[in-house]
Amino acid sequence: MWDFNIKEGLNWATSYDFNGSKICSLGNANETNDAVINFEEFPLGSVSVLPNCSHTEVYNTAQGNTQISVMERVLNGADDSKEPYALNWVWKPEHFTHIKNGSVKHSNLTANELLDQKLVTNDTSDYLWYMISLDHISTDPIWGNKEIALRVNTNGHILHAFVNGKHMGNLHLLTISLLNSGKRAAKNGQFSFTFETKSFNLKHGVAVGLQNYGQFFDEVDVGIHGPVQLIARVENGTEVMKDLSKNEWTYKVGIDGMHKGKYKITGHHAAKYKWNTRDIPNGRMFIWYKTTFKAPLGTDPVVVDLMGLGKGHAWVNGKSIGRYWSSYSSDEIGCSPTCNYRGAYTDKKCLTNCGLPSQRYHVPRSFLQADDNVLVLFDEFGGEPNNVNLQTVTIGKVCANAHQGGGTLELSCQGGKIPSNLRFVSFGDPQGTCGSFSRGICESPLAFSVIEEACIGKEECSIDVTEGNLGPTSCWAPNRLVVEVDCSYNVY
């Protein structure tokens, strides 16, 4: 085998020898220009294969016949007797019974130190309570009748603070990142919380929906690492600090609703709890929502669109479909109207849906029942459940690309659908990509009618990509065929 580089490494060639025969592989990594090598011209951002290192090219990665299936989401239309898209919700609040009146029922352990969250929860829950009780004496010369603040430093992702059972506020990594730098970040950072309190409990929640994963995630500290301090401001404006980090802390894993199985649909848990049917709360934190829905018709994949919700967990028929964070959006920078993977690959190329959240979650068909199904949500941040709906994902259209001399183009919609309407056809010098094709300087006037007759209304079709079949183009460059066609179910 031998290799050689041309033009500062943008082009390359490799030759393989075996039993007296040879095969050559040529590459052009230039992002803007085609290249000419001794063999022949070949397209930018591509690799060519030549048996026996001859001038006969048998394959080029930029000139293969390809089809792209473009998916679309369709609202659930399983129930024709009523409006199928509106879900009827019932609800229950999450109860923080273990922190009322200083109680620490069902606590896991106590320690005179701040423990790592992963160590305590052992991967059994996303939520860990850090609880401490203090007596406040109003006649104390330093701490009595003073403005007192609580300062918590954490390398976790989300922190909720409770005082005598009442939620006092929360802050999370995304908020800190936006305040400090104007950018979203997914690295562990240090939060500084200041609450006006007299006595308090702390609940700390881990990363749910954030992109803090990957290598060494198990080695990253998560939770409240301290210090945890009370700050009193005295008359001369100075601060007096009391460090609580080494006090006795009580730890409790999980939340009440999950311990009691509010997401389950069978057993004594399901029959025990009564759900509220009126005054569905919107924007209220720590709420359980429940609804029923019919299984979508057909066999297409099913998703639930959680648009409008905050952050939490979802179950279908008692089975988890995952955590969600619909209020957390991706970075708004990085997407472009066109896609080009040429040149060195990076994960920043061809980004889509910039500035949008991940709000649609797959529901396996095996989770669904033939009749009514139960969807349960626990929303931690507060949202609007009335926008939630069930959808199916199906092929909406297909785009095909083929080069003259590349043989036959096979075209099909799959999934029981057929090509129903030609959006675009050009054989010659078409430009653009799927969804934004445009005509070039030359093309065959016969190609549209040939494709229409061969493919519309048929489950699949084969097209000979030649001028003899599609008509002459008068183009100087090699001809290319592009097709964009809608797909629909055959109603006949």
Tell me the pLDDT tens digit for each residue of 330-375: 777 888 877 777 777 788 888 888 887 777 889 999 999 988 999 9
What residues form DSSP beta bridges with 290?
A: 90, 376
Q: What would the two tokens of residue 430 be?
A: 């078409």
pLDDT at residue number 189 = 37
Cα-to-chain-centroid distance, residue 9: 36
Mean pLDDT of 165-172: 75
For domain 66-70+394-489, say whether CATH 2.60.120.740 is its number. Answer: yes
Q: Give the whole-angstrom CA distance, residue 29 versus residue 62.
A: 12
Q: Give the whole-angstrom CA distance, residue 32 versus residue 369.
A: 53
Q: What would the two tokens of residue 31 be?
A: 């992002």
Asked if 308 contacts 387 with a C-beta cutoff of 8 angstroms, the reply is yes
Cα-to-chain-centroid distance, residue 355: 12
Between the ranges 7-16, 106-115, 225-234, 441-450, where is the mean pLDDT highest? 441-450
All CATH 2.60.120.740 domain ranges of the chain, comma separated, are: 66-70+394-489
Q: Is the pLDDT of residue 443 over 50?
A: yes
Q: What sign does the CA torsion over 339, 342, 343, 346 have?
A: positive
Which value, to the nearest 10 degrees, does the dihedral of the CA atoms of residues 460, 464, 467, 469 take?
A: -70
Mean pLDDT of 253-277: 81
Q: Give the whole-angstrom CA distance, residue 456 versus residue 318.
A: 44
pLDDT band for position 197 (50/70/90)? very low
* CATH for 88-94+262-387, options being 3.30.70, 2.60.120, 1.10.3470, 3.40.50: 2.60.120
Mean pLDDT of 14-28: 76
Mean pLDDT of 372-386: 91
Mean pLDDT of 169-179: 53
Mean pLDDT of 415-437: 92
Q: Which residue has the higher pLDDT, 347 or 468?
A: 468
pLDDT at residue number 98 = 63
Asked if 285 contacts 383 with a C-beta cutoff of 8 angstroms, the reply is no
pLDDT at residue number 107 = 65
Q: Is the pLDDT of residue 125 over 80?
A: yes
Q: Is the pLDDT of residue 10 over 70?
A: no
pLDDT at residue number 100 = 58
Look up residue 53 and give its amino acid. C
pLDDT band for position 204 (50/70/90)? very low
Beta strand segments in 19-165, E: 21-28, 35-36, 41-42, 46-51, 59-60, 66-75, 90-93, 109-111, 127-131, 148-154, 158-163
* CATH for 97-254, options being 2.60.120.260, 2.40.128.20, 3.20.10.10, 2.70.210.12: 2.60.120.260
All CATH 2.60.120.260 domain ranges of the chain, comma separated, are: 97-254
Of 15-24, 179-188, 397-406, 460-469, which range is least confident? 179-188
pLDDT band for position 323 (50/70/90)? confident
Q: Give the whole-angstrom CA distance, residue 386 versus residue 259.
A: 26
pLDDT at residue number 103 = 55
pLDDT at residue number 275 = 92
Beta strand segments in 122-180, E: 127-131, 148-154, 158-163, 166-172
Cα-to-chain-centroid distance, residue 234: 49
Q: What would the two tokens of residue 52 be?
A: 């026996």
> Given strand 372-379, what is the order of strands in its sheet?
90-93, 287-294, 372-379, 312-316, 319-324
Give the whole-number percent of the chain exceeding pLDDT 90. 30
pLDDT band for position 195 (50/70/90)? very low
pLDDT band for position 237 (50/70/90)? confident
pLDDT at residue number 391 = 92
Task: State the pTM of this model.
Answer: 0.77
Mean pLDDT of 82-98: 78
How big is the CA angle at 111 (ends 110 and 117), to the nearest 5 degrees? 85
Q: Which residue has the higher pLDDT, 222 or 486?
A: 486
Q: Give the whole-angstrom CA distance, residue 211 versus residue 467.
A: 51
Across the chain, what does the average pLDDT equal? 79
pLDDT band for position 41 (50/70/90)? low
